[in-house]
């Protein structure tokens, strides 16, 4: 589990760790603001676009092999990023780095599923989800400390020892899964990449420039490729890149949607609060990270406890309670920020929101993965991780657009207004309300049947 957590933390950290280093990168490499922004955008675009392909590669060639390949690609490209003499090479290497991260991401979830029996999988899945969220949240603080102390190149050098430890650990402790040895659907892979690439690029442009004609064109192209992709996958049947038959299982389909809104909410909080605190209250990146501690610590503490509870209480009930607590916590944050109330009330609602997120995500991931046959764990995990990543991208774009619309100065704001932060947290609260509605459609007996069936198969 440590190997998986190291790899997951590393790739999710790189989504956000560079955000506070962009100014220093621009100064050092003599690049303008537009060019420097692509150091972040390039990683996000390729990472989100290649997740479906990466999951299928794991099913076809073995999860351990794909995991190791991703680690090696990520490590070598990180070294190239650290040594980059100009902005063009840095951006290219970030593209390669993101592809390595995409290979790693669904593999980590599949490896957790294969490594743990059903009665221990809930806690393991909760740790997986918490690690993903925490890495993204702590990225700016870690990036700020490293950049200030050792320079921007250190944020890429940091990946090297972590990658080496993860590779050695994987070679020693991780067993490979059986591969399907099926022909890879190249056309489907291209369609999935283009579909997600155009959609993600459209979101990036919306966040930066609003709903321009170019952004609208990209969304239209994304929809076209999505329709063609669905037709292609239906035609390919069991040979498809993403087996659409998986979505006939209601627990899987609803779980993927809930996973989308879970990360929509979690990333929304992790994105807007540090931004608000740093620009409005003059917090440093490190202080913003510390201010989030009531939420992050409550998630860390609650995760193993929730794993124990799932053996005694229906996962559906736990997830609904978690969603309700997340709504209350995020709505409370919105109210207190809008009312300019600080201190203990903020800490309390952060604590409530953190517990709620832990209650939701721990049994959710276990339930989704338990509904899949082992041979489809890579494809299924890629669907879930893609949904989670898209949730993150959409809320960040929505918040950025909200901030831009709240002042005449455009989107490069010196200060995030309290009303913008409060409105952003309303978006998050609505997302968790949707989680409650979706979970009500999940049949309690069906969830328990899936988990019990998986547990029995593990014991055979």
Q: Does the pLDDT of residue 438 top 60, yes or no? A: yes
Confidence bin at 362 (pLDDT 50/70/90): confident
What is the mean pLDDT of the segment spanning 14-21?
78
Residues 125-153 pLDDT 10s: 777 777 876 787 677 778 878 888 898 99
449 pLDDT above the threshold of 70: no
C-alpha span between 80 and 114 (Å, rounded): 33
For 84-139, how does the pLDDT look when each residue is reduced to its tens digit (9 = 90+)?
999 999 999 999 999 999 999 888 888 887 777 766 766 777 777 778 767 876 77
Q: To the nearest whole percent, how much of the chain has pLDDT over 90?
A: 36
Three-class DSSP labels, the chain: CHHHHHHHHHHHHHHHCCHHHHHHHHHHHCCCHHHHHHHHHHHHHHHHHCHHHHHHHHHHHCHHHHHHHHHHHHHHHHHHHHHCCCHHHHHHHHHHHHHHHHHHHHHHHHHHHHHCCHHHHHHHHHHHHHHHHHHHHHHHHHHHHHHHHHCCCHHHHCHHHHHHHHHHHHHHHCCCCCCCCCCCCHHHHHHHHHHHHHHHHHHHHHHHHCCCHHHHHHHHHHHHHHHHHHHHHHHHHHHCCCCHHHHHCHHHHHHHHHHHHHHHHHHHHHHHHHHHHHHHCCCCHHHHHHHCHHHHHHHHHHHHHHHHHCCCCCHHHHHHHHHHHHHHHHHHHHHHHHCCCCCHHHHHHHHHHHHHHHHHHHHHHHHHHHCCCHHHHHHHHHHHHHHHHHHHHHHHHHHHHHHHHCCCCCCCCCCCCHHHHHHHHHHHHHHHHHHHHHHHCCCHHHHHHHHHHHHHHHHC
Which stretch of 42-51, 203-212, 275-284, 405-414 has the lowest confidence by average pLDDT? 405-414
Phi, psi of 30 (to 5 degrees): 65, 40
Number of other residues whose CB lies within 10 A of the CB of residue 455: 16
- Compare 258 and 17 and report the one with higher pLDDT: 258
The larger pLDDT score, comparing residue 292 to residue 164, is at 164
The confidence score (pLDDT) of residue 97 equals 96
Confidence of residue 182 (pLDDT cuts 50, 70, 90): low
Rounded Cα–Cα distance for residues 189 and 53 (Å): 6
pLDDT 10s digits, 373-392: 766 767 788 888 889 888 88
How many Å apart are CA 93 and CA 100, to the nearest integer?
Answer: 11
Nearest to 256 by CA among 52, 69, 460, 449: 52
Q: Is the pLDDT of residue 195 over 80?
A: yes
Tell me if 129 sits within 8 A of 83, measured CB to CB. Answer: no
Banded pLDDT at 78 (limits 50, 70, 90) = very high
Q: Please give the structure tokens belonging to residue 355.
A: 């517990």
pLDDT digits (tens, 9 = 90+) for 210-224: 888 999 999 999 999
pLDDT higher at 21 or 118:
21
Q: Is the pLDDT of residue 24 over 90?
A: no
Mean pLDDT of the chain: 84
**CA dihedral over 362, 364, 370, 376, signed as positive or negative:** negative
Query: Model pTM?
Result: 0.81
pLDDT at 58 over 60: yes
Dump pLDDT digits (tens) for 226-249. Answer: 999 999 988 887 677 787 888 887
User: CA 84 to CA 80: how far, in whole Å?
Assistant: 6
């Amino acid at each position: 589990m440590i190997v998986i957590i190291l790899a997951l933390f590393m790739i999710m950290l790189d989504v956000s760790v560079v955000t506070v280093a962009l100014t220093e990168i621009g100064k050092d490499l003599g690049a303008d603001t537009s060019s420097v922004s692509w150091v972040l955008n390039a990683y996000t675009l390729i990472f989100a676009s290649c997740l479906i392909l990466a999951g299928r590669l794991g099913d076809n060639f073995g999860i351990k092999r794909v995991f190791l390949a991703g680690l090696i690609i990520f490590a070598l490209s990180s070294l190239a990023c650290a040594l980059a003499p100009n902005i063009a090479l840095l951006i290219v290497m970030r593209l390669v780095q993101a592809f390595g991260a995409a290979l790693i991401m669904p593999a980590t979830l599949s490896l957790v599923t294969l490594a743990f029996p059903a009665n221990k999988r809930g806690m393991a899945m909760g740790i997986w989800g918490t690690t993903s969220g925490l890495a993204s949240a702590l990225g700016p603080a870690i990036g700020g400390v490293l950049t200030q102390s050792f320079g921007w190149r250190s944020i890429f050098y940091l990946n090297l020892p972590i990658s080496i430890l993860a590779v050695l650990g994987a070679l020693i402790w991780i067993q490979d899964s059986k591969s399907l040895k099926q022909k890879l659907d190249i056309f489907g892979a291209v369609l999935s990449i283009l579909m997600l690439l155009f959609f993600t690029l459209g979101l990036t442009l919306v966040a930066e420039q609003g709903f321009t004609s170019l952004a609208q064109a990209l969304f239209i192209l994304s929809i076209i490729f999505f329709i063609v992709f669905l037709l292609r996958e239906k035609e390919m049947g069991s040979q498809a890149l993403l087996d659409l038959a998986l979505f006939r299982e209601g627990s899987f389909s609803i779980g993927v949607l809930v996973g989308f809104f879970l990360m929509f909410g979690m990333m929304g909080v992790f994105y807007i609060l540090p931004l608000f605190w740093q620009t409005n209250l003059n917090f440093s990146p490190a202080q913003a990270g510390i201010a989030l501690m009531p939420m992050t610590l409550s998630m860390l503490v609650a995760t193993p406890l929730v794993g124990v509870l799932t053996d005694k209480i229906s996962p559906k009930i736990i997830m609904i309670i978690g969603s309700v607590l997340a709504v209350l916590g995020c709505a409370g944050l919105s109210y207190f920020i809008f009312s300019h109330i600080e201190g203990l009330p903020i800490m309390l609602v952060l604590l409530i929101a953190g517990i709620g997120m832990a209650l939701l995500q721990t049994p959710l991931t276990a339930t989704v993965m338990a509904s899949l046959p082992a041979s489809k764990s890579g494809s299924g995990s890629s669907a879930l991780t893609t949904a989670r990543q898209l949730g993150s991208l959409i809320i960040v774009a929505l918040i950025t657009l909200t901030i831009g619309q709240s002042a005449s100065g455009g989107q490069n704001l010196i200060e995030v207004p309290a009303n913008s932060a409060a409105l952003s947290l309303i978006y998050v609260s609505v997302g968790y309300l949707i989680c409650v509605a979706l979970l009500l459609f999940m049949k309690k007996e069906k969830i328990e049947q899936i988990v019990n069936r998986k547990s029995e198969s593990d014991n055979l």
